[in-house]
Amino acid sequence: MHLRNLPSVIVMFSVFVAGVVAAPMGAAMPDEQEKTPLVRATLVPRDARTVSLLSADVDIVGRLDHLGMTTVETSPERLAQLEESGMIEGYSIARPLHLLLDESTVTVQADVVNAQGRTGAGSAVVVIDSGINRDHPAFDDRIVAEACFLNGINGTCPSSGGARIAVGPGTAHPCAASGCRHGTHVAGIVGSSDNDLPGVAPGVDLVAVRITDNSGAIVSSDVLDALDWVLSIVETHAVVAVNLSLGADEDPGACRDVAWEAAVAALADAGVAVVAASGNSADDGLLPVAFPACLPGVVSVGATERSPGTGLAAGAAPELADFTQYDGVLDLVAPGVDIRSADTPGSGFVSLDGTSMAAPHVAGAFALLAGTQTAWSPDRFAELLRTTGVMVERFTALEGDRHERYPEVRLASAITFDPFDDALDGYWVAAADWAKHTGVSNGVGGDLFGPGITLNRAQAVTFLWRLMGSPEPSESSGFADVPDGQYYTEAVAWAKEAGITVGTSPTTFGPGGLVSRGVMATFLWRLAGESSGALGVFADVPDNAFFADAVGWMAENEITTGTSTTTFSPEDLVNRAQMITFIWRLVNTASAWDPAVDVPETAMF
């Protein structure tokens, strides 16, 4: 039985608002109306003046100074007025969440990386959870900061003299009996230094943030308070990741929240990844990733398991755990079944299941990656973990018999990855990282990718040939301008055989010819099985153009957004950065592939 049924908690979601509506003349007096309960909401004011105006008729219960937000208690009617006011950009209102619940570090290759001297030392991971048993020997005095945020549930923080918000030693512990088991277990996966049961990053510093009382209740405004506080300690403690092993239980997949998105973006700008569990309510069926894991910028993590009797040894084939919520925006997967980690009270260990146990494997991975590429953003590190992972396949006999693949973390490959020397910044760098790791591109020489070099036809089909595993064609291409012994010889023969190209004439391929956006779209569309797409999306793509179906397919699957909202620019030439980005988007988009086509082994969906 999976130990996943833990106490309910609450999180906020946002509604975008604009314009104040005055109360109508002759409205009933308060004593003539049935009283409605107050609600707690975190507001995103447009400016400082808005805050002073708000304070006149709502009860301000907290201020998120680093995020510039305000938490209030007021009536639903007043929130409805604010919704039309233009005074605020948005607000979050409370709804339920859950805390989402020996050899797993071997599976993700943390042991290999640890043996190379990378333990996470010098970095910190923040565990926002139920508190941590700071006396457990697995943490070896590495809990460097503690805080507690229980304002929203009117709770009392430990070691605080009755305060609802407290920062300092002891404020995230003690907790009654096994009240902080969840947070202790999660922290152990991130950074236990126990010789027999080490965490992913056994040298990392830990920051314990308690946002639950002993019943397990949480209010999302308290989590936002915690994220705001984290911004104040990033530099002091070299924070590289925040772990959120919690998620919404109702309306999974409802993922627009102006307050949370602003907090996640602010942390990303500070170099901090926000990692969240994807949810445990799938019950072997299709269910969207839970809030907040589904938010833009959050690294969502699902759970894997091994077949009975195989254990978690590195060679055992992983499967997506039946409870994992995975539809939509699942970024990574990691072990999450029968994970043994630190327990409380005392100094023992316990095995638990859940995406809560998967997420801290990834949070710990960010600590091990810290310093390998000092200029990289959290998003690029996350894409590196995706690129270097091992694909876990899941066949879903729903919605058109979907076949999906998600990368399970493999740290040894991620740590040793060496990017192209010119892949420093830009929209295309994650795609170039993927292309180098998978062998789709070897660059242009000198360990350079050459993003601005205009693509020719030989290079284009070679990219696609390598993407599909460099299959051996059954015969030569027959094109007079494709001699034997060239780097593209087999690629062109394969492309002709696969129906991706018919050449520029019956006898020529034109390997040195430059590739237009229309031709590029056609190559990709044919590769993926020529699925239908919407016509008339772009004004400069006539319905009778040879590339019309291909461009419509790309737009429908969000592989392209065009060169403007109304144009695709089909005659513009494609450079290497653009081509590799389009290919990368294709291998990340399950819906773009016809079910009859064998997708490449490097596909990530």
Alpha-carbon span 206 to 140, nearest angstrom: 10
Residue 549: active-site member: no
Residue 182: active-site member: yes
CB 209 within 8 A of CB 226: yes
CA angle (391, 330, 14) in 5-degree steps:
170
CB 539 within 8 A of CB 566: yes
Cβ neighbour number for residue 506 with a 10 Å cutoff: 9
Q: Which listed residue (278, 300, 356, 441) is catalytic?
A: 356
Q: How far apart are the first and last CA of the chain?
A: 29
Alpha-carbon span 210 to 213, nearest angstrom: 8
Alpha-carbon span 302 to 275, nearest angstrom: 11
Pick from 152, 158, 293, 127: which is nearest to 222 by CA? 152
CB 431 within 8 A of CB 583: yes
Report how far apart, in Å, the C-alpha atoms of 505 and of each of 6, 485, 589 are. Answer: 66, 22, 32
Report how far apart, in Å, the C-alpha atoms of 570 and of each of 217, 316, 432, 525, 541 are. Answer: 55, 47, 23, 14, 7
DSSP-based three-state secondary structure for 541: coil
- Tokens 């690129």 belong to 387
Q: Which listed residue (111, 129, 222, 433) is catalytic?
A: 129
Pick from 366, 329, 317: which is nearest to 558 by CA? 329
CB 276 within 8 A of CB 292: yes
Q: Which amino acid is at 396?
A: T
- CA dihedral 171→176→180→184, nearest 10 degrees, is 90
- The CA-based diameter of the chain, rounded to the nearest angstrom, is 91
Query: What are the backbone angles phi and psi of residue 181, rounded to the nearest 5°?
Result: -60, -45
What's the sign of the alpha-carbon dihedral 587, 588, 593, 595?
Answer: positive
Alpha-carbon span 4 to 99, nearest angstrom: 8
DSSP-based three-state secondary structure for 545: coil
Q: 11: which strand partners?
A: 95
Q: 145: which strand partners?
A: 207
Q: Which listed residue (136, 173, 182, 361) is catalytic?
A: 182
Alpha-carbon span 288 to 254, nearest angstrom: 9
Residue 129: active-site member: yes
Question: Quick one: 188 exposed, middle or buried, by C-beta within 10 A (0-12, 13-18, 19+)?
Answer: buried
Residues labelled as active-site residues: 129, 182, 356
